[in-house]
Amino acid sequence: MEHTKADIIFKDFWRNNERFADLFNVVVFGGKEVIKPEALHEMDTDVSGVIQLKDYKETLSRTRDVIKKTAYGVEFVVLGIESQQHIHYAMPLRHMVYDAMSYLKEYQEITRKYKKDTGKKTEDEFLSKMKKDDRLHPVITLTVYYGEKQWDGPYCLKDMIVEMPEEIAAIFSDYKMNLLEVRDSDRYVFNNTDVQSVFEITREIFAGHFEKIQEKYGNKEMGSDLLTVVGQMTGSKELIRMSRNMEVNSMCEALEKLKEEGEQMGREKEREAVILTMLQNNYPISEICKLLNIPEEEVLKIKDRK
């Protein structure tokens, strides 16, 4: 499963306003309905910009996964979702850069309007390329981590910094990261059935609780888009393939396929362990192939990974 395909799967899932709003309301706003689905509007995910300071100039290219804005009073708030499969030990820094690039993009939009304004400007406004009463809009980013391992990475910028004396720590500007671990999302109750189902089924698959999934979802029809997301989160290539080909109509069928895939993976791991042991004991490749009835290419691949 290529990373780009994973991006597309999650972007399509979270583009739905009801899912997007429920995720933020439950995880970020503690269950309060702050974000209204009907008030959400998609924004350009490209937040690339140019950083220029006197003689220094650099172009930074950044693309968000999903980004929307919503009316909040008379102004608006920018909301972004980042999907993360693996633990990233610099994630708070990535958050900070993504958010900073969003602020920079809006600032540059202000400066373009400023250039067209022929009115009188103060010396400070000329230097800043924005007026005293110009304001940026808040940006909130939420990372959805769907890896099977528990997150052991940093939760804020301070977690990435060396130990600081009290005097330095007191004035250090920290940057908090909003993070949802799918494997630990049972403490949240989502109102959107799609979000609740995807997170709950994924958690139970990670835990190996197929009976619980069977009991609750066994006879329910599952849309191909939901099965695709579950397949991506759990690393099931077979489930993604089946959902795309519309071969699965219920979770009961999907579970059978998942069990078969898990059993097949188990057999492959056992066979790989046997091959590794035989190689370590200097068995000739030809003899390994003959004893296990496998092609030479399979043995060579495992040998190269040693």
pLDDT score, position 4: 43
CB distance 66 to 142 below 8 Å: no
Structure-block tokens of residue 134 = 């110009």
AA letter at 219: N
Pairwise CA distance, residues 18 & 29, whole Å: 15
The helix/strand count (H/E) of the chain reads as 12, 7
pLDDT score, position 52: 57
What are the DSSP calls for 251-276, one per residue?
Answer: HHHHHHHHHHHHHHHHHHHHHHHHHH
Structure-block tokens of residue 158 = 């301070």
E strands present in 46-175: 49-53, 56-60, 66-72, 75-84, 139-145
Residue in the structure block whose two tokens are 């920018």? 78
What is residue 81's DSSP assignment?
A: E
Pairwise CA distance, residues 201 & 211, whole Å: 11
Q: Beta partners for 243?
A: none
Render each residue's pLDDT in the chain as its tens digit; 306 residues. 444 477 788 889 999 999 999 999 999 999 999 999 999 998 877 666 555 555 655 556 667 788 888 987 768 999 999 999 999 999 999 999 989 989 988 898 888 888 887 778 888 888 888 888 899 999 999 999 999 899 999 999 999 999 999 999 999 999 999 999 999 999 999 999 999 999 999 998 888 787 788 788 777 777 788 888 988 898 877 777 766 665 555 566 666 666 666 556 556 666 787 888 878 878 788 888 887 888 888 888 877 765
Q: Which of 73, 9, 16 is nearest to 40 (CA)?
A: 16
What are the DSSP calls for 190-209, one per residue?
Answer: -SSHHHHHHHHHHHHHHHT-
What residue spans define the domains of the chain? 3-191, 268-304
CB distance 82 to 144 below 8 Å: yes
pLDDT score, position 17: 95
pLDDT score, position 253: 65
What is residue 151's DSSP assignment?
A: P
pLDDT score, position 1: 46
Structure-block tokens of residue 287 = 């003899």
Which are the contacts of 140, defined by CB distance < 8 A and separation ≥ 6? 24, 28, 77, 78, 79, 80, 178
